[in-house]
Amino acid sequence: MERIGPDVQRELSRFGPQAGLGKLVERWPQAVGDAIARNAWPARVQRDGTLLVHASSSAWAFELTQLERTILERLADLAPPRIRFVPGPLPEADALPPAQATQPLPPPALEDVRQGHALAAEIEDEDVRELAARAAAASLAKARSDRVF
């Protein structure tokens, strides 16, 4: 039995920039990390060579646009000239294994708590202010644990 990979790659190379999408998709999770790979996925290569990446929301698209240079560096030799992030459909994610699904959130660090209180400081209602500060601190701690850059 012979592998057909080289034949398929040779045939795909006739289609211009779109031909490199397979290798780029293969490297994407290692280049951007799990958190980003769950929320953004390469969709296609445009005629000018720009990689169009679908994001799970406009907020993710905006944030990833800020990280474009870093992502291009991590893609190394497969990096397109430019990446454009837009909201769009993502591939279906595999279900998390039960151990990961029930993993507790990381506790907020002292700096997370301080930032949470600073963010909620202008809320007049004391109970709402405290809840918002706790939620912000927890969100900051979670973001810190997911950070890949």
Q: pLDDT for 59-110, tens place per residue?
A: 999 999 999 999 999 999 999 999 999 999 998 865 434 444 445 678 899 9
- Region 114-134: what's the mean pLDDT? 90
In the numeric block, which tokens belong to residue 124? 């007049």
Residue 81: the pLDDT is: 95
- Residue boundaries of the structural domains of the chain: 15-87, 104-146
Residue 13: the pLDDT is: 57
15-87: what fold? GMP Synthetase; Chain A, domain 3 (3.30.300)
5-14, 30-39, 70-79: least confidently modelled range: 5-14
The strand pair at 51-55 and 83-87 is best described as parallel
Q: Which of 5, 7, 9 is nearest to 20 (CA)?
A: 9
CB-count burial class (<10 Å; 0-12, 13-18, 19+) for 137: buried
Kindly report the average pLDDT of the chain as a whole number. 84
